[in-house]
Homo-oligomer: A and B are copies of this chain.
Amino acid sequence: MKFIENGSVTSPKGFSASGVHCGIRKNQSKKDLALIFCEKRCTAAAMYTKNLVKGAPLTVTKNNISDGYAQAVICNSGNANTCNADGVEKAEITCAAVAKKLGISEKDVIIGSTGVIGQPINIDAILSGIDPLVDSLSDDGNAAAEGIMTTDTVKKSFAVELELNGKPVKIGGIAKGSGMINPNMATMLCFVTTDAAICSELLHEALVYAVEKSLNMVNIDGDTSTNDMMTIMASGLAENECITEKNEDYFVFAEALAALAIEIAKAVAKDGEGATKLIIARVYGCQTDECARSLALSVVSSSLVKAAMFGADANWGRVLCALGYAGQDIDVTKIDVSFVSDAGRVEVCKNGAGIPFSEELAKQVLVCDEITIDINMNDGMEYAEAYGCDLTYDYVKINGDYRT
């Protein structure tokens, strides 16, 4: 398995994509509508936010792919189409319009929306964008990746290549962050394509496996969005033997999908609202997987750890504090903590107590833009990683006046 340079949702066979400005956003230089299309009907699967307040597009998508198939994804940014009385109706009108133009069934359209909650969505703008959107479909995934961005500062677009029984297979994905992001429920918006041949049921299982290891281990601000969704469409055009049981091909595919999803998770965390750095909490030596996951998430979620990382302050006491309130049964006296980055490694806590360390080295380690907090619980064999970012002035700035 390897990553494809400049890979995207159009890397797998059969897929094209596009993105345009249709007028939902005031800024005309920002694309606000994206399309992914496959020349062939795909098996499909999705995971949705567990927030009980759900965007209308999720309701419509869930209904449309209940048969396990889809052929296109349409997604707008700038408005979440959530908490509006006519939201479902407008989402259905959008699906019907794009399906008509593409010549496919409206029940084979996945629809997403992201942006402000509770403001009526401008359906006229969307409908006016569908012709240019379909007409500009190409094998370049960049415009679509841009069309789904909200406060993201960089587009998230990746693809991997693997082999299934000798046949080359590709998986590509685009995603948007970068606020209202909290794991353990679902994920941000992320649309994945593949040319693998795989049945809907196992596609869903592989998706769940990948999300648990990746997007569900990200926390930017503790707020679980109303519109989070991750979808995958598999065209089968790689012509591998169709995966219909949990054979070796299935596990190779699921691992590759997880690797892609972890890369997307890191990109989303690193581009968290206002973030200047990626924080990885790597927790070793736990008795259970659940314990390791919970501890890792607690550390990347702590506002105080996040603020300390912004200030490049080796305040490891806050790491122990976050481990202590994670709700796991832990032995504090066994915990070792180090900070690690490209600049080196500095051990700061051994057996739950502070040890002398070079503040100078710590500073060098912590000014880097990717920091791993290495935590050994010395209490078992299980391991987990969680992804977050620092808490900065800009997070407050971005969210202090988001609507205007």
When distances are taken between beta carbons in the complex, the residues of chain B under 8 Å from A322 are 223
Q: A221–B304 contact, CB under 8 A?
A: yes
When distances are taken between beta carbons in the complex, the residues of chain B under 8 Å from A117 are 315, 317-318, 320-321
* Copies per complex of this chain: 2
Interface centre among A54, A313, A318, A329 (most CB of B within 10 A): A318
Closest Cβ of chain B: how far from A218's Cβ, in Å? 15
Residue count of chain A within 8 Å CB distance of chain B: 65
A396 within 8 A of B: yes
Residues 294-326 (chain A) with a chain B CB within 8 angstroms: 301-304, 307-308, 310-311, 313-318, 320-325
A185 within 8 A of B: yes
Residues 100-139 (chain A) with a chain B CB within 8 angstroms: 116-120
B51, B82, B313, B324: which contacts A402 (Cβ < 8 A)? B313
> Which residue of chain B lies nearest to A301 when distances are taken between CB atoms in the complex?
B222
Question: Lowest 5 CB-CB distances: which A-B pairs, in order?
Answer: A117-B317, A311-B400, A53-B324, A307-B399, A311-B401
Sample 22 A-B pairs with CB under 8 A, ordered by A number. A50-B325, A51-B321, A51-B324, A53-B332, A85-B353, A116-B315, A117-B315, A118-B320, A118-B353, A179-B304, A182-B325, A221-B303, A223-B318, A223-B322, A226-B321, A303-B303, A308-B400, A313-B402, A391-B396, A393-B393, A395-B396, A396-B396
Interface residues of A (CB under 8 A from B): 50-54, 80, 82-85, 116-120, 179-180, 182, 185, 221-226, 301-304, 307-308, 310-311, 313-318, 320-325, 329-330, 332, 349, 352-354, 391-393, 395-404
